[in-house]
């Protein structure tokens, strides 16, 4: 199953349309899309508007590949289950975000080998084929450091 997600905060029709077009060309593939309150309803993918954490985690766990917006919930979710992720970042010029932070963040994660990036909606189709064999590099973080730094500050309050 390929899981498509636009995140929980805002719709992202450009991504949903791009994936629906790929899904139309790949009827043998199972798809599930989480599309928020977009105006475009896919016709070649099963879809949900919003998913709670449990349903989202279950879809992430079941998917063999993930295609998503460039949000950190999506990126960290894919890295947590070690699944290949293709990102189409939200862009300011299309009114999809207040700035292009998803573009630069996705590029940093791509450069580190954590995911693939589609620069444009037209790139999604060709990159899905590459995604099939893409093995994401695991990301190592130490959240305990920030946790203890803030803990030390709270001790002074």
Partner 1 sequence: MNRNPPQVRPDLKVCVGASAGGHTTELFALLAHSSWWPREVVAVTTLEILRPQFEQLGPTTVTGECDRHRPWAAVLVLIRAWKFVRRERPDVIVTTGSLPLAMVCAFVKLFRGRVVWVDSVAQSDDLSMSGRVVRTFADRTYSQWPSIAARHAGVIYAGELL
Q: Does 111 bind partner 1 (CB under 8 A)?
A: no
Minimum distance between the CB of residue 17 and partner 1, rounded to whole angstroms? 21
Q: Is 5 exposed, middle or buried (0-12, 13-18, 19+ CB in 10 A)?
A: buried
From 21-29, 40-48, 102-110, 116-124, span contacting partner 1 (CB under 8 A): 102-110
In the complex, the smallest distance separating the C-beta of residue 141 from partner 1, rounded to whole angstroms, is: 4
Binders in 33-62 for partner 1, by CB under 8 A:
50-53
Candidates 19, 75, 86, 131; binder of partner 1 (CB under 8 A) is 75
Among 2, 3, 7, 47, binds partner 1 (CB under 8 A): 7
Tell me which of 105, 121, 123, 125 binds partner 1, using CB under 8 A: 105
Interaction between residue 144 and partner 1 (CB under 8 A) = yes
Beta sheet of 2-5, edge-to-edge order: 46-48, 31-34, 2-5, 65-68, 85-88, 116-118
Q: Which residues are near partner 1 by CB under 8 A?
A: 7-10, 50-53, 70-77, 79, 95, 98-99, 101-102, 104-105, 108, 139, 141-155, 157
């Amino acid at each position: 199953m390929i899981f498509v997600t636009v995140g929980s905060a805002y719709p992202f029709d450009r991504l949903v349309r791009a994936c629906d077009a790929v899904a139309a060309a790949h009827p043998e593939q199972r798809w599930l899309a989480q599309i928020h309150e977009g105006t475009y309803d896919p016709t070649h993918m099963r879809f949900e508007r919003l998913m709670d954490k449990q349903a989202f985690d279950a879809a992430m766990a079941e998917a063999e590949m993930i295609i998503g917006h460039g949000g950190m919930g999506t990126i960290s979710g894919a890295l947590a289950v070690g699944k290949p992720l293709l990102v189409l970042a939200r862009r300011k010029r299309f009114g999809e975000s207040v700035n292009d932070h998803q573009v630069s963040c996705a590029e940093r994660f791509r450069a580190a080998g954590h995911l693939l990036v589609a620069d444009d909606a037209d790139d999604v189709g060709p990159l899905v084929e590459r995604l099939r064999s893409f093995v994401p590099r695991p990301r190592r973080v130490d959240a305990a450091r920030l946790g203890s730094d803030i803990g030390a500050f709270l001790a002074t309050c």
